[in-house]
Amino acid sequence: MTSDTAIRAAIPAELSATVRSVTLREGVATIVADASGLGRSAAAQLQRELSEAASLVEGVSEVRVALMADKAPRRIIAVGSGKGGVGKSTLTANLAVALAKMGMKVGVVDADIYGPSQATLLNGKGSKLRAEGQTLIPHDSDFGVKFVSMGQLVEPGKAIAWRGPMVGSALGQLMEADWGETELLLVDMPPGTGDVQLTMMQKFKPAGAVVISTPQDLALIDATRAIDLFQQAKIPIVGIVENMAGYLCPHCGEASEPFGHGGAESAAKDIDVPFLGRVPLAMEIRTASDGGQPPAAGTSEVGAPFTQIAARLKDWLEHAG
């Protein structure tokens, strides 16, 4: 048995498929392995286990492991709004869950630094982010969606009083977490058009943006500003979602429209961007979200609008190239 063959024989069977080449020269073993699709922590473990296996072979005095990996084809979709309180975080969480049910590998970045809520929405309340070195490890939710949130790094109820540079640094750490095989990141943006939005667009360049608004004029004015900011940065607009579009009384069954109806669809036509759909104002959405059970994860009727909007987003991703 040659020395190279002896090294290959010493590598555990579950790792041998990753090995592309093995050489031994003057006591130095060099192993080239394929780490495509592995996150940083898994790749480091592969490197460590290959090194340990080869070091046990007679004649090996030093082991060098080189990892090769294809860059993950990960895309970013920003979910934004011009103002707060329009349901942006709930939409983000439910789109992620619906897309995961469709077979996509999805992650959520809670970029609303001052008002993080994804840990609650994705049933990770009380969870804490861990890190390996300087790299955060996303939390695995119960719904097949990974997520990171400032809510997992600070004590509950504690205010985050940070200036712009600190916020930008925090966003960078969240975005550059160990996402592994995740192919799509949905970024729950804070309301408005400030530092986080500018950092996101300039440094991470989303593939597209989904903008959410309620039907009334004031919300639409702010949503239009958000769209204009994305367009100035040449971020394609996937479309507009109208939230809180009609209310069905759970007691009498009568429908009403406390925030109006159709305003977002009309605005989409006026500014020539797609309209992705409506989400009703429903008590079940609120209670399920507060309880960490996104409606899109179940089979109830209130989850259907999220699934339909997610399907349109998936279609956009498939045709956007």
What rounded mean pLDDT belongs to the chain?
86
Q: What is the mean pLDDT of residues 241-245?
A: 89
Tokens of 263: 């305003």
**Which part of the chain has CATH 3.40.50.300?**
75-320
Residue 291 annotated as binding site: no
| Residue 81: count of CB within 10 angstroms of its CB | 27
The CA distances from residue 44 to 105, 172, 201, 242, in Å, are: 22, 22, 31, 44
Average pLDDT over residues 113-130: 87
Question: Which CA distances in Å does 178 have to 134, 146, 221?
Answer: 10, 10, 37
For 21-76, how does the pLDDT look when each residue is reduced to its tens digit (9 = 90+)?
Answer: 998 988 899 999 988 877 778 888 999 999 999 999 988 999 999 988 765 568 99
Q: Which CATH class is domain 75-320?
A: alpha beta
* 88 labelled binding-site residue: yes
The span from the CA of 154 to the CA of 171, in Å, is 14
Rama region for 16: left / alpha / beta (φ>0; ψ in -120 to 50; rest)? alpha
The per-residue pLDDT for range 150-207, each reduced to its tens digit, is 878 766 666 665 565 677 788 888 999 999 889 999 999 987 667 778 888 888 899 9
Q: What is the DSSP string of 212-273?
A: EE-SSHHHHHHHHHHHHHHHHTT--EEEEEEEEEEEE-TTT--EE-TT-SSHHHHHHHHHT-
Do the annotations mark residue 87 as ligand-binding? yes
Select the more confidently predicted residue: 290 or 163: 290
For the chain, where do the domains classified as CATH 3.30.300.130 start and end? Answer: 3-68
Is 82 annotated as ligand-binding? yes
Residue 57 marked as a ligand binder: no
Residue predicted with more confidence, 122 or 150: 122
Using a cut of 0.85, tell me whether the model's pTM lies above it.
no
**89 labelled ligand-binding:** yes
Cα-only R_g, the chain: 24
Highest mean pLDDT among 77-81, 190-194, 200-204, 267-271: 77-81
Sign (positive/negative) of CA torsion 299, 302, 308, 310? negative
Q: Which amino acid is at 1?
A: M
- The residue ranges of DSSP E strands in 69-124, in sequence order, are 75-80, 106-110
258 pLDDT more than 70: no
Is residue 208 marked as binding?
Answer: no
Please report the pLDDT score of residue 85 as a whole number: 79
| Top-level class of domain 3-68 | alpha beta
Is residue 272 pLDDT above 70, yes or no? yes
Q: Please calculate the CA angle 197-154-119 and round it to the nearest 5 degrees.
A: 70
Supply the angle between the helices 217-232 and 263-271 in degrees, to the nearest 10.
Answer: 30
Residue 48 or residue 260, greater confidence: 48
- Grouping H, G, I as helix, E, B as strand and the rest as coil, residue 31 is strand
Give residue for tokens 């020269």. Answer: 25
- Give the integer Cα–Cα distance in Å for 111 and 115: 9
